Amino acid sequence: MAKEKEITLVNTGVALIIIDRVDVMPGKEITVAESVLERQGTKSLVAQGKLTVKDNSELNDKIIEAFNEKRKPNPTEGKSKAQLEDGGEY
């Protein structure tokens, strides 16, 4: 049985992050299986800049891009202040 590839994650945020029941303080690292990156919570933390894959900025950028593609469009984007204040058409 092949051993799963491991990666090192770095907590770049300002708060404690718990990964697989292990506390990761800000600035600290944790080595985990690569399958952890498939979790939606991990993807979200990477996209927010609170968690990064150590020495792999290409993978970080790929995760951020994929996460942002799934994000819903902002309904207020592209509208003027007057359009937002009048409540729209009925």
**Within a domain: 86:** no
**Global confidence as pTM:** 0.73
Instruction: Tell me how far CA of residue 1 lies from CA of 4, 31, in angstroms.
Output: 9, 20
**Within a domain: 90:** no
Instruction: Tell me how far CA of residue 31 lies from CA of 7, 25, 54, in angstroms.
Output: 6, 14, 10
**Within a domain: 76:** no
pLDDT tens, 13-66? 999 999 999 999 999 999 999 999 999 999 999 999 999 999 988 999 999 999
Which residues, at least 6 apart from 43, have a Cβ–Cβ distance to it below 8 Å?
37, 63, 66, 67
pLDDT tens, 59-69? 999 999 999 88
DSSP class of residue 13 equals S
Domain count across the chain: 1
Domain, as residue range, for 14: 6-70
Measured distance CA(12)–CA(54) in Å, rounded: 10
**Within a domain: 38:** yes
**Within a domain: 75:** no
**Within a domain: 1:** no
**Within a domain: 81:** no
